[in-house]
Amino acid sequence: MGRTAVLGVFLTVALAACSGAGASDNRLSGEPSHYLLTIDQLVTPDFSVYEGAHAVDAAAIAGTDQSQLHRLQSDGLQSAATIRFFRQVELATADGPIDIISTAERFATTAGASDVYQADVARHDAGSGETPISTGALGDTAHADSVVKTTASGIEAVQITLEWRTANVVNVIVVRGRYGGTRLDDALLIGHRQATNELP
């Protein structure tokens, strides 16, 4: 084998090794509960913790969706946690979210997290009444969907689901409130704050 061929093999192996090391170094290894939004990161006053931070498994995340359950399990969900905040206000006049759910899911690999993230986005985009919305830069990749429903009292309420992936962690922020009073900007503001919890 000539010098050029040997050099080519060496560079290929060296680059592959460096690439593998980098991917491994980028993975997050902390407990998902440490990545969740905290009450002091909320920008709207009067929120309290409705459900404290707690671990959730694949079955709790998927609910009755068996295909989602299988994907979470096969893509290597290692650990997940969620927390919920609520503020007691009149929905008809509320500005800003009144209900916020923060979730973080850590996977064994970035590829597994990416697969689950993409499946989540596709599922929401195809949901009844769901409208996809661009988010701008957040994590490695991000997406949002909104859906508007009319309550029994005739008030239009909106739910915005903001989901992004940072390396091997999938993050989800769900905000609910009065349509017109709760916007994607509200979800993005607290989403960016949650993202800082994953910084080294």
The rounded distance, in Å, linking the Cα atoms of 104 and 146 is 20
Which residue segment(s) compose the domain that 4 sits in? Answer: 1-29
Task: Take residue 189 and report the two structure tokens written for it.
Answer: 């503001």
- Average pLDDT value over all residues in the chain: 89
Residue 77's domain is classified under what CATH number?
3.40.1000.10
- Is 12 found in the same domain as 54? no
What pTM value is reported for the model? 0.85
- Is 19 found in the same domain as 46? no
For residue 45, pLDDT over 70 is answered with yes
- Is 90 found in the same domain as 23? no
Per DSSP, what are the bridge partners of residue 133? 144
Instruction: Tell me the average pLDDT across 56-83.
Output: 96
- Is 5 found in the same domain as 101? no
Number of domains in the chain: 2
pLDDT of residue 77: 97
- Is 121 found in the same domain as 56? yes
- Is 184 found in the same domain as 135? yes
4-40: per-residue pLDDT in tens? 444 444 344 444 444 333 334 589 999 999 999 999 9
- Is 49 found in the same domain as 23? no
